[in-house]
Amino acid sequence: MLSALEQYDPEIYELLRQEKALQSGTIRLIPSENYVSKAVMTATGSVMTNKYAEGYPGKRYYEGQQFTDLVESLAIARAKKVFKADHANVQPYSGSIANMAAYLALIQPGDTIMGLSLPNGGHLTHGWKVSATSKFFNSVSYDVDPNTGLLDYDKIADLAKKHKPKLLISGATAYSRTIDFAKFAEIAKSIGAFHVSDIAHISGLVVAGLHPSPVPHADVVSTTTHKTLRGPRGGMLLCKEEHQKNVDKAVFPGLQGGPHMHTITAVAVALAEADTPEFVAYAKQIIKNAKRLAAKLMEHGFNIVTGGTDNHLMLIDLRTKNVPGKKLAKALDRARIVSNYNTIPNDPAPPFNPSGLRIGTPAITTRGMKEDQMDLIAGFINKVAENIDNESVIEKVGQEVLMLCSHFPVPDHFIIPNNK
Ligand code: DSN
């Protein structure tokens, strides 16, 4: 594949070559990123990119669906199996579209939705004011407790009683603790609301049985496929049988046209990979690594929001280190450590220059890094934070990072073939 690119578009080839080198020569701590297997990558770049397949298996608006139907049916069956769901729709192009489709499947434009606010760890599409979700729906946000950083279920219940949303959203993009989906379901039920759960970040942990699943507790569950689940970039919806028709209609023709069959093919491969003991071991190590990284950072004087993590990510409140999030993220980037600056609960600073940094362990765990490497990485982060204006120290850390990366090459395969 790359050799054809090299021949026909050397300019793009060179950029891809450099991106590959960047991904291999940096410690990637963005919790929503990962490395996919060669099998997933091959499926993503396969002949399925040539197809149009509007509709669903067996009911398409185009002929030539002999194999697309089989592939999509396999992806659906695998999704249903690993998530233990009645129904799966594997067509959403992304998590954002999946969320919008979930809402449109259950409620009407103008109805009220209620989700976690963006600065408190929610996603844009949970009804944040700049998102179309707050323009099509009336949006009310709940926050985490400003002191503990934890979800306060009593407060959420009070707010739900006050605003009576038609739909309650659970799930987050920057929350490091276990989410009580049963509690969300109880709150939704008490006001006659639907419950949509967005597990984009933790879906790999849910599949591995390491985070409670919202599937029994939510009307519709939304996820991306590329974070801890380690598939291609895409979205997916899971739902109870009673919502199957509305969910499918909301995705196509409600929001989308032709599905991206190459992505769906790669999702099918990733789901087979996720249905293995090796994946469970991987997911366990993600959490062990995150816990160790959080503990070591705290030893270095960093304040971790909520005092630690139960999952793959953590939010660092940098005020104890007197360094703004953006400045640290940029200095870390120069030291070959890739993260993202992030708001912390009740952040006194603006979102474009917030007081926090969000980091996570899915990608570095895929490279085989374990607890000892977490100690090193915490030390690197501390060194950069404490020498934020000293470029020669930052450069030295970058060299150490490169050395560490060279001992953990990005693997091509993580699963023993045919062990499905
Ligand atoms: N923007 C993604 C993340 O990084 O968490 C969520 O969709």
Instruction: Give the domain CATH number at 316.
Output: 3.90.1150.10
Could you give the CA distance from residue 325 to residue 350 in angstroms, rounded to a whole number?
Answer: 11
* Whether residue 251 is found in the same domain as residue 371: no
Could you give the CA distance from residue 84 to residue 62 in angstroms, rounded to a whole number?
Answer: 31
Average pLDDT, integer, range 128-136: 96
Residue 86 clears pLDDT 60, i.e. is over it: yes
Tell me, yes or no, whether 380 lies in a domain: yes
* Whether residue 149 is found in the same domain as residue 250: yes
Q: How many domains does the chain have?
A: 2
* Whether residue 68 is found in the same domain as residue 129: yes
Atom number, ligand 1, closest to the C-alpha of residue 30: 4
Tell me, yes or no, whether 15 lies in a domain: no
Average pLDDT, integer, range 259-278: 98
207: which residues sit within 8 A by CB, 6+ positions away? 82, 83, 229, 274, 275, 279, 283
CB 373 within 8 A of CB 285: no
CA dihedral 404, 410, 416, 418 (to 10 degrees): 170
C-alpha to C-alpha distances, 105 to 179, 245, 247, 256, 336, nearest whole angstrom: 24, 9, 5, 13, 43
Q: Which of 47, 26, 25, 45 is nearest to 37 (CA)?
A: 45
Cα-trace Rg, the chain = 21
Tell me, yes or no, whether 102 lies in a domain: yes
Tell me, yes or no, whether 378 lies in a domain: yes
C-alpha to C-alpha distances, 235 to 181, 200, 203, nearest whole angstrom: 20, 8, 11
Residue 392 clears pLDDT 90, i.e. is over it: yes
Which are the catalytic amino acids? 52, 54, 198, 224, 227, 233
Tokens of residue 141, six digits: 């946000």
Average pLDDT, integer, range 101-112: 98
Could you give the 3-state DSSP secondary structure of residue 357? strand
* Whether residue 187 is found in the same domain as residue 314: no
Helices 153-163 + 181-190 axis angle, to 10 = 30
Q: What pLDDT, on a 0 to 100 scale, did the predictor assign at position 2? A: 62
Average pLDDT, integer, range 297-319: 98
Average pLDDT, integer, range 230-241: 98
Tell me, yes or no, whether 212 lies in a domain: yes
Average pLDDT, integer, range 258-279: 98
Q: Token pair 């070559």 is at which residue?
A: 17
Q: Whose CA is nearest to atom 5 of ligand 1?
A: 173
Q: Whose CA is nearest to atom 4 of ligand 1?
A: 32
Pairing verdict, β 313-317 and 356-360: antiparallel
Tokens of residue 381, six digits: 């982060």
Q: Token pair 């990005």 is at which residue?
A: 410
Neighbouring CB atoms inside 10 A of 302's CB total: 20
Residue 395 clears pLDDT 80, i.e. is over it: yes
Pocket test for ligand 1, best of 34, 99, 173, 311 (most atoms within 8 A of CB): 173
In terms of Cβ atoms closer than 10 Å to its own Cβ (0-12, 13-18, 19+), residue 337 is: buried
Say which amino acid occupies 212. P
Residue 287 clears pLDDT 70, i.e. is over it: yes
The CA 63 to ligand 1 mean position distance, Å, reads: 36
* CATH number, domain with residue 99: 3.40.640.10
Neighbouring CB atoms inside 10 A of 234's CB total: 28
Pocket test for ligand 1, best of 33, 116, 123 (most atoms within 8 A of CB): 123
Could you give the 3-state DSSP secondary structure of residue 212? coil
Tokens of residue 160, six digits: 């739900």
Q: What pLDDT, on a 0 to 100 scale, did the predictor assign at position 1? A: 54
* Whether residue 270 is found in the same domain as residue 296: no
Q: What pLDDT, on a 0 to 100 scale, did the predictor assign at position 414? A: 84
Percentage of the chain lying above the pLDDT 90 cut? 96
Q: What pLDDT, on a 0 to 100 scale, did the predictor assign at position 418? A: 58
Residue 414's region, left for phi above 0, alpha for psi from -120 to 50, else beta, is alpha
* Whether residue 255 is found in the same domain as residue 386: no
Tokens of residue 122, six digits: 């929610």
* Whether residue 198 is found in the same domain as residue 94: yes
Ligand 1 pocket residues where CB is under 6 Å: 32, 95, 123, 173, 200
Confidence of residue 420 (pLDDT cuts 50, 70, 90): very low
Tell me, yes or no, whether 13 lies in a domain: no
Q: Whose CA is nearest to atom 2 of ligand 1?
A: 32
The CA 173 to ligand 1 mean position distance, Å, reads: 6
Task: From 274, 304, 320, give the residue that closes a domain.
Answer: 274
Q: Which of 102, 104, 39, 113 is nearest to 267 (CA)?
A: 39
Could you give the CA distance from residue 217 to residue 355 in angstroms, rounded to a whole number?
Answer: 34
* Whether residue 72 is found in the same domain as residue 198: yes
* Whether residue 258 is found in the same domain as residue 308: no
Could you give the CA distance from residue 401 to residue 350 in angstroms, rounded to a whole number?
Answer: 31
CB 389 within 8 A of CB 322: no
Residue 417 clears pLDDT 80, i.e. is over it: no
* Whether residue 261 is found in the same domain as residue 400: no
Q: Which of 319, 317, 356, 322 is nearest to 339 (CA)?
A: 356
Tell me, yes or no, whether 55 lies in a domain: yes
Pocket test for ligand 1, best of 227, 339, 358 (most atoms within 8 A of CB): 227
Domain membership of residue 294 as a residue range: 287-407
Task: From 274, 309, 333, give the residue that closes a domain.
Answer: 274
Q: Which residues pair with 337 in a beta bridge?
A: 27
The CA 353 to ligand 1 mean position distance, Å, reads: 17
Average pLDDT value for the chain = 97
Tell me, yes or no, whether 176 lies in a domain: yes
* Whether residue 174 is found in the same domain as residue 245: yes
Q: Which of 348, 341, 345, 344 is nearest to 327 (CA)?
A: 341
Tens digits of per-residue pLDDT, 216-225? 999 999 999 9
CB 338 within 8 A of CB 311: no
Q: pTM score > 0.95 for this model? A: yes
Task: From 228, 249, 274, give the residue that closes a domain.
Answer: 274
The CA 385 to ligand 1 mean position distance, Å, reads: 24
The DSSP call for residue 306 is: G
Could you give the CA distance from residue 302 to residue 11 in angstroms, rounded to a whole number?
Answer: 43
Pairing verdict, β 55-56 and 59-60: antiparallel
Percentage of the chain lying above the pLDDT 70 cut? 98
The CA 201 to ligand 1 mean position distance, Å, reads: 8
* Whether residue 269 is found in the same domain as residue 291: no
